[in-house]
Chains A and B, each alone.
Chain A
Amino acid sequence: MTIKEILKGLAAVSLMLMTTIADAAPPTKGAPTAPTVTGNTQGRLLASNCFQCHGTYGSGGFYPLFGKGNVSSTLTKYLSGNSDSIMAAHLKGYTPEQLQAIADYFANP
């Protein structure tokens, strides 16, 4: 099975999951246990621009960022590609230094 075939299957399954998620209960109920934050304020306000779509402290949403050490390389790949996604559109508005600061924050939130 090629990676392309695997992804095709994944996309179909994830679309079904998405439908379930879209119909899920309002977000005030059933909150899971939260991880502990360090209290780091360096880059926090800047990184909070991500929270609307990735959850408070990057805890979920489209893709979790909390505690991830690889955010910088992911952003770099987005920028070097030709994606016309809303994520790529957002990244165009930040300087490389700001993107690095955001990645550093999510590695140590």
Chain B
Amino acid sequence: MNRRKFLGVTASGLGLLTLSSFSAFAARDSNTTPVQFAIPTNTGINGHIVVLGGGMAGATVAKYLRLWGGTGVQVTLVEKSAAYTSNILSNTVLTGQRTLANLAYHYDTLKNHYGVKLINKEVAAIDAASIQFADGTTLGGYDRLVIAPGVEFDLMPGMTSVDEYDTLIPHAWKAGPQTALLRDQLINMTDGANVVITIPKAPYRCPPGPYERACVIADWLKANKPNSQVIVLDANADILVEKDNFNYAFTVTHAGVIDYRPGCTITNVDSATRVVTYNQGLSLDNVVEAGVLNPIPPQRAPKLLADAGLLNSPDGRFASVDVLSYESTAIPGIHVIGDASSTTMPKAGHIGNQQAKTCVDAILRVLQGQLPDPSPVTNSACFTPITASTATWLAAVYQYDPGTKKMVIPAQHNNGTAISAPTASTRNYQDMLTWFNTLMGDTFA
């Protein structure tokens, strides 16, 4: 019996399913093969939008500008890389469950089906009217510029060059060669040596990500380096998200393998000897030597945005935007979406996708002489592996608050806070794969 036939039989034979039973089944009735809808020819909308950056937010904005705007909306996507490597699930590359090639998403469908024009070049400078490329050419004549550049990484104290991340102490917080290096270092580490992970103060990309990484590496160590530990030096005063789930993982699931130390200020990193010096409360100049050192550095929007005058958040690290449209509050006509923007929402791929759709809807309205939707909603979902076969999740919905002009989790949603899975489970792990494949399909295909 093929799957479609099987579903047909169940649908006709079980007309009286209770909802709880039905939903339990429905969650596994997944089909993650994306459906590609036609580009409409009759919207009456015309314009030219340039999108800078082909990650989760940038790819989504390029796709939906065409899908919702139609053939009259010309979209140019500027991306220096031939493919996007997903940060989501990249921790499972460290454990050998996935490969980097398995996480690569190309731009073929955006180009061939959606009619997005691709420019594969490095950008040197931007302003509202034009883009200057590193090869000396320029691109202008667009109605709006949407920037989705992701983040750049600061040096840790004591470091002199970002090259140290590429060769000695990979942060692997942008999936790619550093992920492969970190994987190799873990394999080659002496059993009994320790993995040290440092976590920067929020905001940083993917709030649960560092805790997830500690968990999946600990799980891997148990089977591969049974005398080794993961030492986590967190600059934050406590676990930032899913505290119950991660506390359980640190103290029960991976008891004795994860040594979590909150409130740590890193004062020096020696990338050659992998020695980290840090203060923790009143305890100063603590020293820990790592077999593998994985510093997750403080992050900021790329220098390109700083040079353009876009980084006007209170800390000067990110771009403040009007969350009705994601238009910069510094430079009209430029929109900043995803991790480079400063908002109340997490820096993560799922919500970056929804910010992109909000941005698209606003731009299409503006092109028609209308105002943006006055009450946008965004949502965040993130599944997090805890072991090689179990996962948890975190969910939040954000509504526009006209009083503060910010996106806020409403009171009816867990008293204004995110909701997490009651426990890690294998069911969640299966759902994580459905979520990931569907999200990537909605973004790139």
Chain A stretch 80-106: residues in CB contact (< 8 A) with chain B: 81, 83-87, 89-90, 92-94, 98
Binding site for B on A (CB under 8 A): 3-4, 6-7, 10-11, 13-15, 17-19, 21-22, 24, 26-28, 30-32, 34-37, 39, 41, 44-46, 48-49, 51-57, 59-64, 74, 77-78, 81, 83-87, 89-90, 92-94, 98
A89 near B377 with CB under 8 A, answer no
Min CB distance A104 to B, Å, is 15
A–B Cβ pairs within 8 angstroms, 18 of them: A3-B14, A7-B17, A18-B28, A32-B35, A36-B38, A48-B64, A51-B357, A55-B441, A57-B35, A60-B35, A61-B435, A62-B26, A62-B29, A74-B19, A77-B19, A78-B23, A85-B27, A87-B23
A28 near B444 with CB under 8 A, answer yes
Q: In whole angstroms, how far apart are the Cα atoms of A94 and B19 in the complex?
A: 20
Q: In whole angstroms, how far apart are the Cα atoms of A60 and B350 in the complex?
A: 17
B438 near A93 with CB under 8 A, answer no
B412 near A86 with CB under 8 A, answer no
Min CB distance B197 to A, Å, is 27
B283 at the binding interface (Cβ < 8 Å): no
Contact flags B352-382 to A (C-beta < 8 A → 1, else 0): 0110011001000000000001001111010
Binds A, one of B102-110, B203-211, B259-267, B307-315: B102-110
| Given A49-B379, A52-B439, A85-B27; A17-B3 close (CB under 8 Å) | yes
Binds A, one of B150-158, B179-187, B220-228, B414-422: B414-422
Q: Which residues of chain A come closer than 8 Å to B17, judged between CB atoms?
A: 3, 7
Chain B stretch 2-28: residues in CB contact (< 8 A) with chain A: 3, 6, 10, 13-14, 16-21, 23-28
B286 at the binding interface (Cβ < 8 Å): no
| Given A32-B35, A52-B438, A56-B35; A11-B24 close (CB under 8 Å) | yes
| Option from A3, A26, A41 in Cβ contact (under 8 Å) with B16 | A3
A27 near B409 with CB under 8 A, answer no
B430 near A15 with CB under 8 A, answer yes
Chain B stretch 77-111: residues in CB contact (< 8 A) with chain A: 102, 105-106, 108-109
| Option from B20, B410, B419, B442 in Cβ contact (under 8 Å) with A55 | B442
Question: How many chain B residues have a CB neighbour from A under 8 Å?
Answer: 78
| Given A21-B32, A48-B354; A86-B434 close (CB under 8 Å) | no
A28 near B105 with CB under 8 A, answer yes
| Option from A6, A21, A45, A48 in Cβ contact (under 8 Å) with B434 | A21
Min CB distance A102 to B, Å, is 10
Q: Across the A-B interface, how many residue pairs have beta carbons closer than 8 Å?
A: 213
Q: In whole angstroms, how far apart are the Cα atoms of A18 and B113 in the complex?
A: 28
A62 near B27 with CB under 8 A, answer yes
Binding site for A on B (CB under 8 A): 3, 6, 10, 13-14, 16-21, 23-38, 40, 42-43, 64, 67-68, 102, 105-106, 108-109, 113, 350, 353-354, 357-358, 361, 373, 376-379, 381, 393, 395-399, 409-410, 412-414, 419, 421-422, 430-431, 433-435, 437-442, 444-445
| Option from A22, A37, A74 in Cβ contact (under 8 Å) with B433 | A22
A61 near B31 with CB under 8 A, answer yes
Q: Which residues of chain A come closer than 8 Å to B438, judged between CB atoms?
A: 27, 52-55, 60-62
Min CB distance B397 to A, Å, is 2
Q: In whole angstroms, how far apart are the Cα atoms of A7 and B445 in the complex?
A: 33
Q: Which residues of chain B come closer than 8 Å to A22, judged between CB atoms?
A: 430, 433-434, 437
Q: In whole angstroms, how far apart are the Cα atoms of A62 and B50 in the complex?
A: 33
| Given A34-B36, A93-B413, A94-B397; A15-B445 close (CB under 8 Å) | no
| Option from B28, B409, B421 in Cβ contact (under 8 Å) with A86 | B421
Additional A-B contact list (13), CB under 8 Å, known A34-B37, A52-B435 = A3-B17, A6-B14, A27-B445, A28-B105, A31-B33, A34-B35, A61-B31, A62-B29, A62-B435, A77-B19, A85-B27, A93-B412, A94-B397
Q: Which residues of chain A come closer than 8 Å to B431, judged between CB atoms?
A: 62, 86
A83 near B20 with CB under 8 A, answer yes
B42 near A39 with CB under 8 A, answer yes
Q: In whole angstroms, how far apart are the Cα atoms of A7 and B6 in the complex?
A: 13
A27 near B444 with CB under 8 A, answer yes
The interface centre, meaning the residue of A14, A17, A44 with most chain B CB atoms within 10 A of its CB, is A14
B29 near A61 with CB under 8 A, answer no
Q: Which residues of chain B come closer than 8 Å to A48, judged between CB atoms?
A: 64, 354, 357
Q: In whole angstroms, how far apart are the Cα atoms of A15 and B25 in the complex?
A: 9
Min CB distance A67 to B, Å, is 12
A60 near B37 with CB under 8 A, answer no
